[in-house]
Chains A and B, each alone.
Chain A
Amino acid sequence: MRDAELISGGLADAGLARRLKALACTAPLHDLDARKAKLDWADATVYQMAEIALHTIDQVTIAMDFDTGAGHDDVVRRLQPFIAAQAPGRAAAEHLRVARWVLDNLINVGTADRGFRRVYGSFDASGAYRRRAFDFKLLVEVVSPDGEVYLRASDEAITVLVGALDTDVESAQIAAEVKLENLISRGRLTDARLAAEQARYRTVQYGETLRARLEATRRDVRSVDWAEEMPALLDSALSHIEARFRAENAILRNITKARDESTDPGHKRRAAELVDIVGDCVSRHTQLQTRLQAAGAIFRAEQDRQQFSGPPRRATVDLFGQLLMPSLDLALADAVVPVERFFHAVAGLEVPAVPALPSLVSLLLRPAPERDRLVGEIPEPELVPAETTSRYSDEQWRRADELLALREGPRRLSGLLAEARGSDPALARLVALRAVHSYSPEVGAALRQGDEHALIAVDDGTVLDDDEFGGADLVLATAGIERDTGFGGPAGVRRAPEEMEGAS
């Protein structure tokens, strides 16, 4: 068999790409755990970041309904008890910070698109392997009508969360319901609770799909087919809700009975939780139904608002159909020219300011203008410590310390270098750097560090005769620091020699 046949033999199909995408959605969560050790503001290894992330997505999903989502601060507050349970010994401020960190990372703050991108490969029609990018988001920020920014979980996040990676919303919901009823009839309440929760996520997801359609209708009646598509959608949604009401009420009756009759306190508690969850499901369906009933009125009102017009009296361009849509459908590289032409023509004029002395004076005397409401966001850089922080080993530092502890009086650099080279060729460089650094010692810093003594270097004009280094053959001495006066003499302070090397 040829390679191409092997590949196309069902191994690399659309399902592969789908599974890769599903896998990609979990990557940001794993990434959190991989990066937690590198956080410099806390030893975050005790926290289970992926768990916290899933819990965050849960919180946002539960808070989602038709009009709003969860506020940032709200989510952070709800997360704190969960985080605190993982590390009870840590300060509340740290828990707060962990919550913020996880939330920021799920939004992916700091990137322009606030999303994630994973590269995957697929075979095109000609059988060539092409690398493609899959863009997705976990938590999205949306503006409410009153201008507040709140969070919603993306479809990808909800799908990852419920673990059903490639399923139809409606059928998955039915499956979850059937499972739930079975579990209850067999008395397995823990599993029943799980299934009920899944059913709730499904409900939210279903509501989200409908919300998007209704919102589109509100924005532009003609963007949705109201002759056939929308009535059919509303019909199926309503019958769906009807079926769910029946199913959930039946479940509710069953578990309420189970709750009241059960003698096992554990069973009783779990059944009570289940009653709450299913009750929540029912109220969500009610909300959805209210929305569906209002949909027709929305359509009629919008239709009235957008009056119909006669044929144009002179030939003009259809801005939407002939400019916006084609431009959106172009590749970025091709779209630049048309949109730039449009901007150029529509932006109008900029009258160049001609400076004149009288106006310059008043210009200078004018109070500073109010700052722009839209200054750039200040990104908070996440600093990861470099892999190797020291060029010289601890052993080399110790040996250099020994060499430079000049208790018997001043010595010349050349002598020290020769001695250093005798033991370790690399050591000479460290000694030379420390000698140069002590030429201008920072007494204040040495004092603050509580050093007992400091190295001091003096140039007496002798030239250093060395193969590796040039400059003056410094005279080095150790000077003690007197604490009483706070100024006992010149003192040096040890600084990382890498910095100095970088500077030179």
Chain B
Amino acid sequence: MSRPVTSGDAESAARLISFGLRPKQLPGRDVVYAELVRRYGEDTGFKQLTNSIAAGLGLLMLDVNTQAGAVLAAADESVFEIKMDGYARQSKIRERRDTEKVLHGLVHLATAALGYPRPDDLANDTYIGRVSVEQVDGVVREACRILDERAAKSGDNNDPLTEAPELEHAWRAYARRPAAAATKDGRLAPDTTRGMVSRALRFLADQGFLVAVSTEQGGTYRTTPRYQVQVRELAADSAFEELLALGVVTVGDGAGSLATSAADTL
């Protein structure tokens, strides 16, 4: 941008960010929004200005496109950040805090994995995935079963040690948790896995990442382009880096492990 920044530019940039803060507002439904998205794509100076303003607010511009609009992420310690401690607080039964956090986190991971089952789905901008409460819970339980079989095959006794509950495998904690439980008032108990999944899906729908389609299978949703950007550009990578640091994954060849037919993999 060779011309100086005007206060009008700053206002437009801030407006684009404020559109991004309303995840359910889409460029396709708002002429002003669409115009700002177009300008962000064409005017490098405007793009830099917007990114700087976002950075100053503690936000990260993940992507700006006509399908998803402005997709923002909160930087660490930003006021816009959603803390997991706050999210996982709901459970009233005294369980280990970490266990609850891991279970909720796994539910979110499985939701994304089911929404984009193959690497190609995540890369393909036009792909729209479908998830339901039953499927998400089913996918994790199936994975748990496979890990259980694999553990049983190894022959070692791998029942959890009582003196070190934190060393218990995550799949065990998930498999042990009941899928559903009858409550006196007929509602879904929140500390069951289906309760957690349905909470996660409703949460993601509130955030504009999923759209409710029907109430079949405990609630069926479709993914939005915004969710795809969020998972692809940030979430998958940040979790992947952590796992890479732990040395439990290797960089794949892009084929995806879901397609292999060997009995011990999915």
Interface residues of A (CB under 8 A from B): 14, 17, 72, 107, 109, 111-115, 119-120, 122, 124-125, 130-135, 137, 140-143, 145, 147, 149, 212, 215-216, 219-220, 222-223, 225-227, 229, 306, 308-352, 373-379
Question: Do B157 and A348 touch across chains, with their CB atoms under 8 A apart?
Answer: no
Chain B residues numbered 214-266 whose CB sits less than 8 Å from any CB in chain A: 217-218, 227, 230-232, 234-243, 246, 248-249, 252, 254-263, 265-266
- On chain B, the residues within 8 Å of A375 by CB distance are 187, 190
- The answer to whether A322 and B159 touch across the interface, beta carbons within 8 angstroms, is no
Q: How far is the CB of A132 from chain B (nearest CB, A)?
A: 4
Contact A338 B123 (CB under 8 A): no
Which residues from chain A contact B159 at a C-beta distance below 8 Å? 120, 122, 132-135
Bound Cα distance A293, B91 (Å):
44
Q: What's the minimum C-beta distance from B206 to chain A, rounded to whole angstroms?
A: 9
Q: Contact partner of A147 among B138, B160, B218, CB < 8 A?
A: B218
CA gap between A346 and B263 in the complex, in Å: 31
A-binding segment of B25-33, B43-51, B112-120: B112-120
12 further A-B contacts with Cβ under 8 Å, apart from A124-B157, A137-B178, A312-B254, are A115-B176, A125-B156, A133-B162, A223-B146, A318-B254, A325-B147, A326-B248, A330-B248, A331-B168, A338-B239, A339-B239, A377-B181
Q: B112 to A319, Cβ gap below 8 A?
A: yes
Contact at A216–B147, with CB atoms within 8 Å?
Answer: no
Q: Which of B5-13, B34-42, B192-200 contacts A (4 or more CB under 8 A)?
A: B192-200
Q: Is there contact, CB below 8 Å, between B142 and A216?
A: yes
In the complex the two chains form, is A341's CB within 8 Å of B239's CB? yes
Interface residue? B64 (CB, 8 A): no
C-alpha gap A317/B74 in the complex (Å): 21
Min CB–CB distance B120 → chain A (angstroms): 4
- 30 A-B pairs (CB sep. < 8 Å): A14-B157, A72-B182, A109-B181, A133-B161, A134-B159, A141-B179, A142-B180, A149-B180, A149-B182, A220-B139, A222-B258, A227-B261, A320-B256, A320-B257, A321-B258, A324-B140, A327-B105, A328-B140, A329-B248, A330-B248, A332-B99, A336-B102, A339-B102, A341-B242, A344-B83, A347-B87, A348-B23, A349-B72, A373-B187, A373-B188
In contact, B258 and A374 (Cβ under 8 angstroms): no
B173 interface residue, CB < 8 Å from A? yes
A219 to chain B, nearest CB (A): 5
Is the Cβ of B170 less than 8 Å from the Cβ of A325? no
Q: Is B162's CB under 8 angstroms from A119's CB?
A: yes
Write out the residue numbers on chain A whose beta carbons fall within 8 Å of the beta carbon of B92: 376
Q: Are A341 and B207 within 8 A (Cβ)?
A: no
Check A328–B144 contact: CB distance below 8 A.
yes
Give the residues in chain A near B235, CB-CB below 8 Å: 341-342, 345-346
Minimum-distance CB pairs A-B, first 6: A339-B105, A321-B257, A345-B235, A342-B239, A333-B166, A346-B235
Contacts of A219 in B (CB 8 A): 135, 138-139, 142
**CB-CB < 8 A to B146: which residues of A?**
223
Known contacts A324-B143, A348-B207: A341-B238 contact under CB 8 Å: yes
**B113 lies within 8 A of A143 (CB):** no
For chains A and B in complex, what number of residue pairs have CB atoms within 8 angstroms?
340
Task: Name the B residues within 8 Å of A350 (CB-CB).
Answer: 74, 80-82
A232 to B92: give the CA distance in the assembly, Å.
47
A336: nearest chain-B partner, CB-CB: B98
Q: For window 44-96 of chain B, which residues contact chain A by CB distance below 8 Å?
A: 59, 72-74, 79-84, 87, 90-93, 95-96
Task: Give the CA-CA distance A379 to B181 in the complex, in Å.
Answer: 12
User: Which residues on A sit within 8 Å (CB–CB) of B230?
Assistant: 345-346, 348
Shortest distance between the CB of A217 and any CB in chain B (Å)? 10
- B15: CB under 8 A from chain A? no
B-side interface residues toward A, CB under 8 Å?
Answer: 21, 23, 59, 72-74, 79-84, 87, 90-93, 95-96, 98-99, 101-102, 104-106, 108-110, 112-113, 116-124, 134-135, 138-140, 142-147, 156-157, 159-163, 165-174, 176-184, 187-191, 194-195, 198-199, 203-204, 207-209, 217-218, 227, 230-232, 234-243, 246, 248-249, 252, 254-263, 265-266
Whether A328 pairs with B108 at a CB distance below 8 angstroms is no
Cβ-defined contact, A336 with B82, below 8 A: no
**Complex contact B262–A225 (CB within 8 A):** yes
Contacts of A332 in B (CB 8 A): 96, 98-99, 102, 165-170, 173
Judging by beta carbons under 8 Å apart, are A318 and B176 in contact? no
Inside 8 A of A345's CB, which chain B residues have their CB?
73, 230, 234-235, 238-239
Residues of B within 8 A of A335 (CB): 102, 105-106, 170
For the complex, what is the distance from the CA of A319 to the CA of B231, rounded to whole Å?
A: 9
In the complex, the answer to whether B80 meets A351 with C-beta atoms within 8 Å is: yes
Partner pick for B123 among A229, A306, A313, A373, CB 8 A cutoff: A313
Contact, CB under 8 Å: A328 / B169: yes
A324 to B262, CA, bound (A): 18
A111, A137, A223, A348: which contacts B142 (Cβ < 8 A)?
A223
State A115–B177 Cα separation when bound (angstroms). 8
B176 in contact with A113 (CB, 8 Å): yes
Residues of B within 8 A of A333 (CB): 98, 166-167
A110 to B86, CA, bound (A): 24
CB-based contact A131/B239 at 8 Å? no
In the complex the two chains form, is B87's CB within 8 Å of A327's CB? no
A347 near B82 with CB under 8 A, answer: yes
| Known A220-B266, A318-B252, A348-B73; contact A340-B143, beta-carbon cutoff 8 A | no
- CB contacts (< 8 Å) of B87 on chain A: these are 343, 347
Q: How far is the CB of A150 from chain B (nearest CB, A)?
A: 9
Most buried by A among B105, B110, B160, B231: B105
Task: Tell me the smallest distance from the CB of B243 to a CB of chain A, in Å.
Answer: 5
Q: State how many angstroms separate the Cβ of B117 from the closest Cβ of chain A.
A: 7
Q: B72: which A residues are within 8 A, CB to CB?
A: 349
Other-chain contact of A317, B122, B167, B255 (Cβ < 8 Å): B122
State A147–B198 Cα separation when bound (angstroms).
Answer: 13
Once the chains are docked, how many angstroms separate the CA of A122 from the CA of B123?
Answer: 48
